Amino acid sequence: MSQESSLQILPPFLSGSSNSDLGLESTLRELPAYNFCVETNFTGAEVAVYFDKFPLLPGVILVEKGKYMGMVSRRRLLEFLIRPYGQELFFQQPLSVLYSYARTEVLLLTENTPILAAIQLALRRSAELLGEPVVVHTAPDIYRLLDVQELNVASWQIRGIETQVRYERSQALMVKNDKMANLGRLVDGVAHEILDPLNFIWGNLAHVDNYSQDLMKLVAAYEQENFPLSEETNQIKQEIELDFLQQDLSRAIASIRAGAERLKKLVTGLQNFCHIDEVYPKPADIHANIDSIILLINSRITGEIEIVKNYGHLPPVSCFIGQLNQVFMNILSQAVDTLLNEAVRQQMHLETVATDQKPRIEITTQVISRKVNIPNVPDSRWISICIADNGPGISQELQKQIIDSFSIEKRADKETNLSVSYRIIKARHGGELNLYSELGKGTEFQILLPLV
């Protein structure tokens, strides 16, 4: 090659930005990489000049009439030049000859490849290729060389950010759990304070009922003995409406008893929902706790949504009942929201054909057996809790998003009520949370808990 032809090699230049602001979603576009493309008709000696001038240059991208042909790294070029007679054989030969001998597998990635994905691909290469640079395709017929050490540094930086983010999220979760525990203790204390005077009312109602009946008997006996009554006594009877009082007193006492009983159930349900779990699971009545949750959300569903209970015969289930109550609340609240939103939508769109089907949530519990498929091992027994609604259903795309949110990676990005429920069922109880839905045919969540 003549001196004039060597001047046609454009010197390498470093493109890209600094990696100081990298994040979890950063791509190869954000890393500094070398633009150094050389036609294959230039010699190894002409390229070696640029390696001397730029000691950090990781290699050279070979092109033929501007079209990408491959890559030869600095390390691979030096290996061939230090061989016996290497300089005589390759130094003055075109790069195409050197590439025919030095050709290796090249890791070619687009600039949109995430850095964390790129480092995984780079580390999967064979041991002799781990130090080879990565070729980054940035645009049509434009390629850059990324030093693998630069990629390693960037990935370590991102891993540090990821670790910090996970640590902060775990700290926030601990604070949240502590706040929920304190709130549970506070609510439990308030409920206990309500129950004390309520027990006084409840305990004295029977006595008040008996006293009132005794007084009515005394009045009746007095009327019989002193008939006819004096004018003054008749006037008092009319003023206090004694006939109405005798009829309404028993109804008033019955009404007070019904109100006290309802309030007692509500407070008991609130205590159950705010139950603070111990370190170890304890046996619990699943049906009683579901009823407590329904009682708490009853103000939202009265007269609009029908609750159907198909309760089977369940033994006491060893569980963290406070956390299970959170799962029941999450799923039932979502079902209620879906049915109420659908009812509002139908009212706003009058052209929608009305149906006679009332919004309904059906809760079915039973003990089921599941085959283990292991010789001489009996089938496992599980508690099945199905919560189904007759709402509009969930699209396949949304179902996929919900199921994806159950994974650790997605759950770390954004934690939803359902992902929390999945973690409670799967991690804390060794169970399963399954979703079944079809557009126009409602949605069903199935909770499976192992019977120990």
pLDDT at 439: 87
Lowest-confidence segment of 43-57, 136-150, 195-209, 410-424 by average pLDDT: 410-424
Give the pLDDT band of residue 444 (cuts 50, 70, 90).
very high
Tell me what percent of the residues of the chain surpass a pLDDT of 90: 8
By the 8 A CB rule, do 10 and 119 touch? no
CATH number for the domain whose boundaries are 277-350+357-451:
3.30.565.10
Structure tokens that stand for 18 in this block: 């600094």
Q: List the domain boundaries for the chain.
A: 13-146, 169-276, 277-350+357-451
352 versus 365: the higher-pLDDT residue is 365
pLDDT at 279: 61
Residues in the chain: 452
Q: What is the mean pLDDT of the chain?
A: 79
- H/E element holding 444? strand 443-450
What pLDDT digit, counting tens, does each position of 19-60 carry?
557 777 788 888 888 888 888 888 877 888 888 888 888 888
Shared fold status for 13-146 and 277-350+357-451: no
Interior angle at CA 11, CA 9 and CA 13, nearest 5: 145
Residue 155, classified by CB atoms within 10 Å of its CB into exposed (0-12), middle (13-18) or buried (19+), is buried
What pLDDT digit, counting tens, does each position of 254-295 carry?
888 888 887 877 777 676 666 655 567 888 889 988 988 888
Instruction: Tell me the average pLDDT across 50-76.
Output: 86
> What does the DSSP 8-state code read for residue 43?
B
Distances (CA, A) of 141 to 61, 122, 138: 11, 23, 8
pLDDT at 188: 63
Lowest-confidence segment of 48-57, 98-107, 191-200, 405-414 by average pLDDT: 405-414
316 versus 226: the higher-pLDDT residue is 316
pLDDT of 8 strictly over 80 = no
What pLDDT digit, counting tens, does each position of 214-247 carry?
888 888 888 787 778 778 888 887 888 888 888 8
Give the pLDDT band of residue 387 (cuts 50, 70, 90).
very high
Residue 331, classified by CB atoms within 10 Å of its CB into exposed (0-12), middle (13-18) or buried (19+), is buried
Instruction: Tell me the average pLDDT across 62-69.
Output: 86
pLDDT at 52: 83
What pLDDT digit, counting tens, does each position of 168-200 carry?
666 666 655 555 555 656 666 666 677 777 777
Lowest-confidence segment of 2-6, 70-74, 213-217, 448-452 by average pLDDT: 2-6
Separation CA 182–CA 170 (nearest Å) = 18
- In this structure, what are the phi and psi dihedrals at residue 103, rounded to the nearest 5 degrees? -65, 130
Q: In what order do the strands lie in the sheet with 432-437?
A: 306-310, 360-370, 380-389, 443-450, 432-437
Separation CA 214–CA 205 (nearest Å) = 14
What CATH homologous superfamily does 13-146 map to?
Answer: CBS-domain (3.10.580.10)
pLDDT of 92 strictly over 80 = no
pLDDT at 6: 43
